């Protein structure tokens, strides 16, 4: 594989291996990897690794997110190597690779959580910054465990229609609606720097908000983004995050169903794709240490709208991490 504009055999040994050249191999041809990047086993190491986790046993409504990694990889065929908004060619700046999928037990959530924590922890221990494509939001808990093991308690920027700080569902403590309560209880998060962005819709009761505040979260609703604008929201969250190590978790249902119909628990009144991407780009220069994009359910998608949005979100997260790694 050669990066765009490079002839095979002319790439210096130390240069990153880039995506397949779309002027030689059409975008619709070949094996789908994220952004047509090399597999991790082809390059041996990565500064930024994209990993899929096909798991949705923690959902409370519509299943199907187990098929997201494959769908997002297919949608990512259209991504190109230069990011003009961030002025970076992420795949040339550092080595980015597709680390494949982590196979987890679909019948045992506890075992699945333990597998993700171990395997992502091992990947991160090689020096790779990890961007995960889920899968449902249960996965953020083991991903945060792996991040906290390396960096200590991390700041969290959580894009979602929902709080995901409930205690249990049907008596079960590990579901896609509970990961951030468990993360606070386990000391994985810096409770001075926790923010939800894009929340909206009905709740079980006002106590949900009271408990969320008690855990340390600040809330920027979808209506706040609409009324106050992206620049003001970015300024607010950057001030809250400061120079702390930051984990970014993006539930694709933060987007309005018009922009992301393919998700398990859609809520009206969400962010546009443009708003989400611009807020992410406003994080340039922060200490991002890891990220995930979850809750894409391709069976409910229309013309791959949701998968395309998720692929661009993952691309922006990869680009932000590439900028940080290149500068360090």
253 in a labelled binding site = yes
164 in a labelled binding site = yes
- List, edge to edge, every strand of the sheet that includes 189-199: 96-101, 48-53, 129-134, 287-294, 245-251, 154-159, 189-199, 217-221
151 in a labelled binding site = no
137 in a labelled binding site = yes
Taking the C-alpha atoms of residue 155 and residue 69, their distance in angstroms, rounded to an integer, is: 26
Q: Which residues are registered as beta bridge partners of 263?
A: 296
Binding site feature residues: 137, 160, 162, 164, 251, 253
| Annotated binding-site positions for Mn(2+) | 137, 160, 162, 164, 251, 253
């Amino acid at each position: 594989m050669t990066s765009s504009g490079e002839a095979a055999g002319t790439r210096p040994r130390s240069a990153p291996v880039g995506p397949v050249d779309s002027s030689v191999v059409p975008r619709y041809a070949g094996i789908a990897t994220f952004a047509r990047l090399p597999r991790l086993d082809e390059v041996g190491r990565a500064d930024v690794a994209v990993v899929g986790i096909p798991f949705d046993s923690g959902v409370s409504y519509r299943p199907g997110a187990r098929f997201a990694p494959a769908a997002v990889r297919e949608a990512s065929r259209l991504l190109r190597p230069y990011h003009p908004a961030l002025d970076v060619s992420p795949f040339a700046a550092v080595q980015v690779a597709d680390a494949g999928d982590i196979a987890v037990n679909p019948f045992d959530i506890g075992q699945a959580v333990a597998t993700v924590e171990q395997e992502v922890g091992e990947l991160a221990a090689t020096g790779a910054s990890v961007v995960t494509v889920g899968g449902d939001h249960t996965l953020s808990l083991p991903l945060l465990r792996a991040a906290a093991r390396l960096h200590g308690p991390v700041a969290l920027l959580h894009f979602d229609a929902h709080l995901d700080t409930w205690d249990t569902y049907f008596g079960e403590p590990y579901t896609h609606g509970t990961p951030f309560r468990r993360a606070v209880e386990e000391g994985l998060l810096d409770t001075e720097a926790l923010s939800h962005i894009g929340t909206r819709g009905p709740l079980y009761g006002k106590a949900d908000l009271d408990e969320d505040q008690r855990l340390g979260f600040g809330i920027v609703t979808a209506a706040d983004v609409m009324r106050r604008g992206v620049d003001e929201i970015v300024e607010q969250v950057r001030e809250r995050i400061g120079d702390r190590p930051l984990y970014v978790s993006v539930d694709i249902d933060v987007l309005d169903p018009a922009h992301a119909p393919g998700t398990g628990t859609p809520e009206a009144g969400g962010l546009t794709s443009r708003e989400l991407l611009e807020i992410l780009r406003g994080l340039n220069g922060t200490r991002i240490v890891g990220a995930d994009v979850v809750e894409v359910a391709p069976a409910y998608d229309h013309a791959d709208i949701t998968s395309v949005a998720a692929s661009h979100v993952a691309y922006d997260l990869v680009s932000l991490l590439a900028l940080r790694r290149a500068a360090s």
